[in-house]
Amino acid sequence: MMSSAGDRGNKESDGQPTPSSGGEPPARPAKPPSGARAAAGGPPKAARPSSAGARSATAAGSTAGKLAKELGGTTPIPKGTNLAFGFSPSLENFAESQNAVSVFKAWEKSFLRINVGMFRELQQTFGAIVDTFLKNGGRIKFDLTGLQQGIEGATTWELRKILGSKLWEAGTDFFRDGKQLTGAALKEALKPWR
C-alpha cells in the first residue's frame, strides 16, 4: 500500500484494518481523518507538524513536479518525492526518516485521491502510483521490518509486486530495522518473497 500496514497475524500489527492488513478496511468518508491510524479506521491522533513527506518545492529544486491527474491528484508531486511502504505501526516514522510519503500522506497532500483505505482500489492503481513516483525522480523506500515468512497480507503483496518488476525493484531501497540492506544481506532478506 501502498502500504502499508501489518499483515494478517503479524505481531507488529496494531490490529486495525488497513490497506495492508490483508483484510477489508471499513469504508471511509470522502476525506479521511488525519494520520495513518485514522486512515486505517482507528481514532485519529492529534495533528502534529511533520516533515514526513515530500520535499518542498524549494528543497526539490523549485520544480512543481508531476500532477497525477490519472490518480485524482490535485497537487503536483514535488520532483524527487520518495514513496514508502511497510507496516502501519511504524510506516509514518519510517517514511519521515526517509524523506518519503506513505500513500496515506500522499492522499492528505492531495498528490493522489484514490480511496487508500480500500485495499482493492489500491491494488488496481498500485502500478500507476509506483510508476508516477519513480518517473517523477523519486524512489521507493520499503521497510522489511516485521515481515515474516509464511504470513501473507497486503504488505507482502506490495513487496511481491515490486519484486515482480525489474524496473520497480531497481527503483527501490530496502531497509530492515532502520538500516538499508544491500548485497548478500538484501538477497537473503528478499529470498522468501521471490
The answer to the question of residue 56 being in a domain is no
What band does 9 get if pLDDT is binned at 50, 70 and 90? very low
The answer to the question of residue 98 being in a domain is yes
Pairing, β 140-143 against β 172-176: parallel
Q: How far apart are CA 16 and CA 10, in angstroms?
A: 12
Amino acid at site 34? S
Beta-bridge partner residues of 100: 82
Q: How far apart are CA 10 and CA 21, in angstroms?
A: 9
Give the range of the structural domain holding residue 159, as residue numbers without chain letter. Answer: 1-28+79-194
Please count the CA atoms within 13 angstroms of the CA of 140 that sit on its side-chain side: 31
Express each pLDDT in 20-72 by its tens digit: 433 333 333 344 334 433 333 333 333 333 333 444 333 334 467 889 999 99
The answer to the question of residue 104 being in a domain is yes
Q: Is the dihedral of CA 101, 106, 110, 112 positive or negative?
A: positive
The answer to the question of residue 42 being in a domain is no
Pairing, β 172-176 against β 100-101: unpaired
Mean pLDDT is lowest, of 41-55, 114-128, 164-178, for 41-55
What cell was used for 113?
A: 485521491
In the block, residue with C-alpha cell 509464511:
150
Contact status, residue 25 vs residue 117, Cβ threshold 8 Å: yes
The answer to the question of residue 64 being in a domain is no
The number of distinct structural domains making up the chain is 1
- Cβ of 61: how many Cβ atoms within 10 Å? 12
Q: How far apart are CA 99 and CA 121, in angstroms?
A: 25
Q: What is the pTM of this model?
A: 0.69
The answer to the question of residue 21 being in a domain is yes
pLDDT recorded at residue 62: 44
- Cβ of 111: how many Cβ atoms within 10 Å? 30
Q: How far apart are CA 54 and CA 104, in angstroms?
A: 12
Q: Per-residue pLDDT for 11 more than 70? A: no
The answer to the question of residue 35 being in a domain is no
The answer to the question of residue 70 being in a domain is no
Q: Per-residue pLDDT for 193 more than 70? A: yes
Express each pLDDT in 81-106 by its tens digit: 999 999 878 899 999 999 999 999 99
> Where do the H-state alpha helices sit in 44-143?
88-97, 103-108, 119-135
Burial of 33 from C-beta contacts in 10 A (0-12 / 13-18 / 19+): middle
